[in-house]
Homo-oligomer: A and B are copies of this chain.
Amino acid sequence: MADPRFFKLAGPFSLAYLAGLVGAQLGDEARGSAVAKDVAPLDRAGPDDVSFLDNRKYVDVFATSKAGACIVHPGLVSRAPAGMALLISLEPYRAYALIAAAFYPEAAPDGWISPGATVDPSAVVGRGTRVEAGAVIGAGVEIGRGCRIAPNAVIEHGVVIGDDCVVGANASLSHCILGKGVIVYPGARIGQDGFGFAVGATGYTKVPQLGRVIIHDDVEIGANTTIDRGSGPDTVIGAGCRIDNLVQIGHNVELGRGCVIVSQVGISGSTKVGDYVQMGGQAGLTGHLNIGAKARISAQAGVMRDVAPGETVAGSPAQPGREHWKQMAFLERLTKKKAQGG
């Protein structure tokens, strides 16, 4: 059971209810009225818990688990231990996510503005939005319904935030427009002016950054991640993107829909990224590139040229993944051979 200091348990729920919730099929309809009280991993679950099997690696743990019920792919049903109730789903991990959310629902914000918050009189805060102590909301800001603005978050003048967004503790937003359901994690920095200056004979001259950051619906932006606003064009984050912690996104970058950007990636200015691109941790991209849809950038890759749709690249400088791995293996073999006097 999750620590009650931090999490509030709901339920119990019948297996029939849970199966319906996630579109799973009960292995045995007669078990539908059985009750589950919590979720738990396979190795720690007991008779009152729902667990899940998502990864074939854990089939043996599954086969001996004491979980009362388990979400499982149809192809693995035969490995279930006797007596375990099954919720059969083509997407067991997603089903688990929904069931876990049923047991541990996030409380809806309750439409409260802390007396310790500072809200400019010209700002508009939607119904059901909670503004915590120390939050500062500037002139002309518009915040939708059902949002949570966490303590000490700063929303500078003019920012627009859609419904059902969360702005984490100590995050700061300026010059940006957020869609619905966006989650900004603590300490993220969105909309500051980018790294823009003209190099001249007499030094560096700051170039006014006149664009914005546009964040579409259902985006998540990780803790301490930084997204600079555009220089004239906008910086754009497509719907459904998942951006991890400590990521840097430069001015005028455009991400398509559903991109997954792992921690500590850096994307330099004006690079355009297609839909559903994945980038591994600490990858770096230079500016003004085009990265095709569904491309995969390996962790720590250093991308200096365009990447075709669907292509996988690796290494620094990044090359087609297959080439990179071949070269690494070749160098390893060659060095060993040489060492043996070959």
**A interface, CB within 8 angstroms of B:** 2-3, 5-7, 39-41, 91, 93-94, 96-98, 100-101, 104, 114, 116, 118, 132-134, 136, 138, 140, 150-152, 154, 156-158, 160, 168-172, 174-175, 185-187, 189, 192, 195, 197-201, 203-208, 210-212, 218, 220, 222-224, 226, 228, 232-233, 240, 242, 244-246, 248, 250, 258, 262-264, 266, 268, 281-282, 284, 286, 299-300, 302, 316-317, 319, 323, 326-328, 330-332, 334-335, 338-339
Contact of A331 among B98, B175, B327 (CB under 8 A): B327
Cβ A246 vs Cβ B244 within 8 A = no
Cβ B154 vs Cβ A151 within 8 A = yes
Give the complex CA separation of A218 and B205 in angstroms: 10
For the complex, would chain A's binding face be called helix, strand, loop or mixed by DSSP majority?
loop
Contact of A195 among B93, B171, B242 (CB under 8 A): B242
Q: How far is the CB of A216 from chain B (nearest CB, A)?
A: 13
Q: Which residue of B lies closest to A118 (CB)?
A: B133
Contact of A152 among B100, B152, B242 (CB under 8 A): B152
Question: Given A240-B203, A332-B327, are A154 and B136 also a contact pair (CB < 8 Å)?
Answer: no
Cβ B207 vs Cβ A244 within 8 A = no
Q: What are 11 A-B contacts with C-beta separation under 8 Å? A: A3-B158, A100-B210, A104-B210, A118-B151, A134-B134, A134-B152, A170-B171, A187-B187, A197-B242, A204-B242, A204-B258
Cβ B286 vs Cβ A263 within 8 A = no
Contact of A172 among B2, B7, B168, B286 (CB under 8 A): B168
Cβ A91 vs Cβ B263 within 8 A = no
What residues of B have a CB within 8 angstroms of the CB of A200 in the complex? 91, 94
Cβ B97 vs Cβ A198 within 8 A = yes
